[in-house]
Chains A and B, each alone.
Chain A
């Protein structure tokens, strides 16, 4: 069970007609390090044409650029980060971040960790985990470049977060997922339903551990960049039934989460999740979960 036709047929069953998408590159201004207007002026004076992403405070699409935005002085000085527009959404969905104790459970390469630090204005504590040591170097470089000061990084599997003996106000679960065809041109050739199911199982294990370390009434933001419902709605449906979590409404772009997947009825609250089919951004799924007191 694989191949382009197989997956496209699944998407049609879920209500979306496949079309090729050209992803628009985007940046996020690190407001802690610089005034937005000043960064915009500096970039525009160097011939970079930007357009504000309507659903983000600090996100801008790059419409035109003579240079690589990843090689400019402003980038090297940590005034902005290169971050896909949809990927900028999850960290913005926490109710309050300043002074909080936050877990970024699958942190590398660090784009969202830096964004969390920016939203927290370097207050509180971010504990950032990743299981692969090599990926921690990429994460560390991001933290250094963006002058993050409130993060502690551990080489640790998110499924073992209880080893930290800590309780968190907020947990960001940008979980490892199957990805999507927009960011990976070989996606349809490489992915099978078996991969999807394997990732879904891993994500359930990570969700289970996250519930153990989040405080009562604490918030978990769960996100993936895959379109596959096994890793999205079906996992969240399982989580709210098995893990004492409830889905909260969020204010962000995208369609309601699916409440019927291939004929299976899911909890009605799944509609409060957000599913973004590829168009202006890559495909994306995000939801906010609260641990019941």
Chain B
């Protein structure tokens, strides 16, 4: 339960609705968390490698979310910044978000908070930490969201294997 708490704490940092996860259906394998459904629960065996929707992994006291979890959160009311096409492309290349790339903000604009980063279609590209109060920042060339994780990671994983 302590470890599931870590997962819930992560979600709460986005001020997300509590309904993102049914914790009764969260299963853990070593340091990785998965969300299964009632059908999978009937068949899953303890030596599984991967099951259902991968939610992320814990390393020490830090939780690293999966992109499935972030996409699930994006379907709910949660902190998010929507960015333009150029900002979206730069973000999935690992870059931070400049004030000028932001189309709109939902939820927190406060420095230090976590926020999802979505494109103009509201598809979740990853998440970051707000580095300056977004509403207050007047300089459009300033970074306002620092990239923590983005979907370009799938490519980086492939390259690191190669």
Q: Mark A residues whose CB is within 8 Å of B.
A: 70-71, 73, 76-77, 101, 123-125, 127, 133, 136-141, 143-145, 147-155, 164, 166
Residues A140 and B40 in contact, CB atoms below 8 Å apart? no
Known: A76-B155, A77-B151, A125-B40. A153 touches B51 (CB 8 A): yes
A166 to B39, CA, bound (A): 14
- How many residue pairs bridge A and B at CB < 8 Å? 81
CB neighbours of A145 from chain B (8 A): 67, 151, 154
Residues B154 and A153 in contact, CB atoms below 8 Å apart? no
Tell me what chain B mostly uses at the interface: helix, strand, loop, or mixed.
mixed
Mark interface residues in B27-39 (1 if CB within 8 Å of A CB, else 0).
0000000010101
CB neighbours of B123 from chain A (8 A): 77
A136 to B161, CA, bound (A): 12
Per a CB cutoff under 8 Å, which of A70, A73, A124, A164 touches B151? A73
CB neighbours of A123 from chain B (8 A): 39
For the complex, is B157 an interface residue (Cβ under 8 Å from A)? Answer: yes
Mark interface residues in B71-110 (1 if CB within 8 Å of A CB, else 0).
1000000000000000011001000000000000000000
For the complex, is B47 an interface residue (Cβ under 8 Å from A)? Answer: yes
Residues B155 and A152 in contact, CB atoms below 8 Å apart? no
Residues B44 and A152 in contact, CB atoms below 8 Å apart? yes
For the complex, is B53 an interface residue (Cβ under 8 Å from A)? Answer: yes
Residues A76 and B92 in contact, CB atoms below 8 Å apart? yes
For the complex, is B115 an interface residue (Cβ under 8 Å from A)? Answer: no
Tell me what chain A mostly uses at the interface: helix, strand, loop, or mixed.
mixed
Residues A143 and B50 in contact, CB atoms below 8 Å apart? yes
Residues B154 and A73 in contact, CB atoms below 8 Å apart? no
A155 to B161, CA, bound (A): 19
Known: A101-B43, A150-B39. A73 touches B92 (CB 8 A): yes
Per a CB cutoff under 8 Å, which of B39, B50, B53, B151 touches A76? B151
Residues B67 and A154 in contact, CB atoms below 8 Å apart? no
Mark interface residues in B114-149 (1 if CB within 8 Å of A CB, else 0).
000001000101000000000000000000000000
Residues A73 and B119 in contact, CB atoms below 8 Å apart? yes
A155 to B50, CA, bound (A): 10
Known: A73-B92, A76-B151, A76-B154. A150 touches B50 (CB 8 A): no
A13 CB → nearest B CB, Å: 39
Known: A73-B89, A145-B67, A145-B154. A140 touches B43 (CB 8 A): no
B74 CB → nearest A CB, Å: 11
B55 CB → nearest A CB, Å: 10
CB neighbours of A137 from chain B (8 A): 161
Known: A73-B119, A76-B151, A77-B123. A138 touches B67 (CB 8 A): no
A143 to B157, CA, bound (A): 14
CB neighbours of B68 from chain A (8 A): 144, 147, 149
